[in-house]
């Protein structure tokens, strides 16, 4: 009995030593693995798209609209989207240029009424009825009853034709007796009188204002007996007599 139990007692220390060795090996392996993991840098902040070529140069990731740089040979062969055809800064400049601002000027922009006023304004010499036997011209002159002819328009139109036997001078308006042309010349002279200047002479006679306006061109001729004797010289002036804006008389001289 003593001989059979002796070998078993000898193997027992050997098995215990083997287990201890394995445990120590596992512990050492775990420690080495933990140290290895702690020694590696964290790659959470790394850009996975950036790689290092064989020559040591870094290769940048694919560029976007806000980061446009030189294209490689392979990139040039690819179609570039329209959104990348213009750099960001130029896009902003182009957008700013597309917004047109009005040119700086002290003159206010023309209104619709200004653009159409010239086309709708009646021509000089037109008259409209404003009351009983009262007419107003384009320039604002009033023609009403009065004079030997019973109306100022009829009186003015006496100077539309010549009276060769009339003593003295008789001013005759150009226009071949056309009333509209005669009244247009009077309107023009009145507007010129309102502007004043060296071409206008003004004299007050009671309630009446006498204007002598140099038109700087022939607006008729001088007729009557004297005018016919002188060969009907051209008349470059108009005599206009008013009471306010009411016409008393008007004739060339």
**What pLDDT was estimated at residue 22?**
83
Cβ(169)–Cβ(163) under 8 Å? no
What's the burial of 189, exposed, middle or buried (CB within 10 Å: 0-12/13-18/19+)?
buried
Q: Which of 46, 90, 66, 84 is CA-nearest to residue 75?
A: 84
Residues in the chain: 253
**What pLDDT was estimated at residue 244?**
96
Give 10-residue mean pLDDT values along the chain (253 residues): 48 69 84 70 46 45 41 44 40 40 42 48 88 94 91 96 95 95 97 96 96 97 96 97 97 97
Q: Which of 70, 175, 173, 188 is CA-nearest to residue 123?
A: 188
Cβ(243)–Cβ(207) under 8 Å? yes
**What pLDDT was estimated at residue 35?**
72
**What pLDDT was estimated at residue 16?**
76
Report yes or no on whether pTM surpasses 0.85. no
Can you tell me the distance from the alpha carbon of 213 to that of 250, in angstroms, rounded to the nearest whole number? 11
Mean pLDDT estimate for the chain = 74
Q: Which of 134, 242, 240, 124 is CA-nearest to residue 187?
A: 124
**What pLDDT was estimated at residue 27?**
83
**pLDDT per residue as tens digits for the range 21-70:** 888 888 888 888 777 766 655 544 444 444 444 444 444 444 434 333 44
Instruction: List Cα–Cα distances, 201 to 97, 183, 204, in angstroms.
Output: 57, 20, 10
**Bridge partner residues of 251 (DSSP):** 239
> Rounded to a whole number, what is the distance in angstroms from the first to the last CA of the chain?
175
**What pLDDT was estimated at residue 21?**
81
Can you tell me the distance from the alpha carbon of 178 to that of 199, in angstroms, rounded to the nearest whole number? 26
**What pLDDT was estimated at residue 11?**
54
**What pLDDT was estimated at residue 168?**
95
Domain boundaries, the chain: 128-252
**What pLDDT was estimated at residue 127?**
94
Can you tell me the distance from the alpha carbon of 250 to that of 212, in angstroms, rounded to the nearest whole number? 10
**What pLDDT was estimated at residue 140?**
96
**What pLDDT was estimated at residue 23?**
84
**What pLDDT was estimated at residue 26?**
87
**What pLDDT was estimated at residue 39?**
60
């Amino acid at each position: 009995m003593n001989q059979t139990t002796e070998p078993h007692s000898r193997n027992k220390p050997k098995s215990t030593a083997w287990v201890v060795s394995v445990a120590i090996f596992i512990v050492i392996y775990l420690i080495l693995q933990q140290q290895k993991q702690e020694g590696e840098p964290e790659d959470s902040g790394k850009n996975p798209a950036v790689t290092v070529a064989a020559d040591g140069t870094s290769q940048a990731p694919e560029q976007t609209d806000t980061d446009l740089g030189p294209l490689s040979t392979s990139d040039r062969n690819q179609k570039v989207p329209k959104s990348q055809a213009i750099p960001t800064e130029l896009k902003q400049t182009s957008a700013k240029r597309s917004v047109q601002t009005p040119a700086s000027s002290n003159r206010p922009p023309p209104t619709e009424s200004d653009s159409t006023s010239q086309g709708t304004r009646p021509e000089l010499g037109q008259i409209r009825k404003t009351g009983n036997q009262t007419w107003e011209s384009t320039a604002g002159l009033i023609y009403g009853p009065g004079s030997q002819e019973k109306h100022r328009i009829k009186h003015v139109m006496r100077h539309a034709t010549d009276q060769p036997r009339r003593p003295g001078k008789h001013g005759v308006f150009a226009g071949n007796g056309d009333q509209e042309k005669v009244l247009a010349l009077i309107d023009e002279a009145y507007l010129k009188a309102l502007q004043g200047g060296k071409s206008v002479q003004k004299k007050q006679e009671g309630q009446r204002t006498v204007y002598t306006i140099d038109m700087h061109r022939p607006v008729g001729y001088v007729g009557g007996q004297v005018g016919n004797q002188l060969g009907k010289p051209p008349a470059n002036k108009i005599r206009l007599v008013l009471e306010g804006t009411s016409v008393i008389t008007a004739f060339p001289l």
